[in-house]
Amino acid sequence: MRLALFDFNGTVTHEVNSRNLTGRINGLNCHGEEKLRRIKERYTIKEFECIYACGDNPSDKVLKTVAQEFHYRSFL
């Protein structure tokens, strides 16, 4: 059995200088299919016996495609 906590980075904002953030992002927004793509890029899904996923945004529902157990807003 292998256990892991997904610790991937989400959307990264672009800083203009040490005082101001522009709100622009580096790369693609980590949302929906892009979130799933990043998880698959970082982890070999087949190595896990069971994947639990949770989300609070409709775009997180795409995680159901790789998770055996998915919780949506159940922690609110």
**What is the C-alpha separation between 14 and 17, in angstroms, rounded?**
9
Per DSSP, 15 falls in state: E
Residue 63 confidence class, pLDDT cut points 50, 70, 90: very high
Boundaries of every domain in the chain: 12-72
By the 8 A CB rule, do 65 and 55 touch?
A: no
pLDDT one-digit tens code per residue, 25-43: 778 888 899 999 988 988 8
Tokens of 39: 């998880």
Query: For the whole model, what pTM was predicted?
Result: 0.71
Average pLDDT of the chain is: 81
Q: Which of 38, 66, 43, 40 is nearest to 53 (CA)?
A: 66
CA gyration radius for the chain?
Answer: 15
